[in-house]
């Protein structure tokens, strides 16, 4: 799968993307005080993703966010493992040097069109740290509805503390009304 926009390409991750994605996630985690997979885990995940079609099996599938010059600046994960039929969960990370440029919004926007269109997804859920105001604002700009907050639901190993998660969701009909 390859989705192209004015600024970027959203495509399935490849085995060769592992080191770059690991570096990006480490940089994002440094800002958020969270932990990341080891390099070996990220390399293994990328190698596995390269051989699997998105949604061909339950679980997470990663998509690279690549600029037209070939530079990978982030990734989007889609969990095709429910809850229930035609529901997915979304996660994302973007290299901090590229924050505030509309890249994540553009990448997720094109992926939403694909998920609601070709994949006929009914509902997409996204979770973010309740204190991650930039991520909350991004989801709201994309049309996601804030459904609630899970109190102390995520253990941050690096910070040795519990954090709250904001839950957002978007239905196919809500997406269609906005577009």
* 74, 103 contact by CB (below 8 A): yes
CATH 3.40.630.30 fits 2-178, yes or no: yes
Global pTM value: 0.90
Q: Give pLDDT, residue 33.
A: 57
* 96, 155 contact by CB (below 8 A): no
CA distances from 102 to 32, 35, 113, 134 (A): 20, 25, 17, 12
Domain boundaries, the chain: 2-178
Q: What is the CA radius of gyration of the chain?
A: 16
Q: Give pLDDT, residue 179.
A: 79
- pLDDT averaged over consecutive 10-residue blocks of the chain (179 residues)? 94 93 86 72 89 85 96 95 83 93 96 96 95 94 97 82 94 94
Q: Describe the crossing of helices 133-141 and 103-116 by its angle, rounded to 10 degrees.
A: 50
Distance CA 78, CA 126 (A): 10
């Amino acid at each position: 799968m390859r989705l192209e926009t004015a600024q970027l390409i959203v495509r399935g991750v490849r085995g060769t993307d592992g080191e770059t994605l690991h570096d990006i996630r480490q940089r994002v985690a440094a800002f958020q005080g969270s932990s990341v997979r080891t390099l070996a885990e990220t390399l293994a995940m990328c190698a596995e993703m390269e051989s699997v079609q998105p949604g061909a099996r339950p679980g997470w599938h990663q998509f690279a966010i690549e600029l037209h010059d070939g530079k990978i600046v982030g990734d989007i994960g889609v969990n095709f493992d429910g809850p229930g039929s035609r529901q997915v969960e979304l996660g994302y990370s973007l290299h901090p040097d590229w924050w505030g440029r509309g890249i994540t919004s553009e990448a997720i926007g094109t992926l939403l069109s694909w998920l609601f269109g070709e994949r006929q997804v009914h509902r997409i859920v996204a979770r973010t740290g309740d204190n991650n105001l930039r991520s909350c604002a991004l989801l709201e700009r994309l049309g996601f509805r804030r459904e609630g907050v899970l109190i102390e639901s995520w253990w941050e190993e690096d910070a040795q503390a519990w954090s709250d998660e904001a839950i957002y969701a978007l239905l196919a009909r809500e997406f269609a009304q906005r577009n």
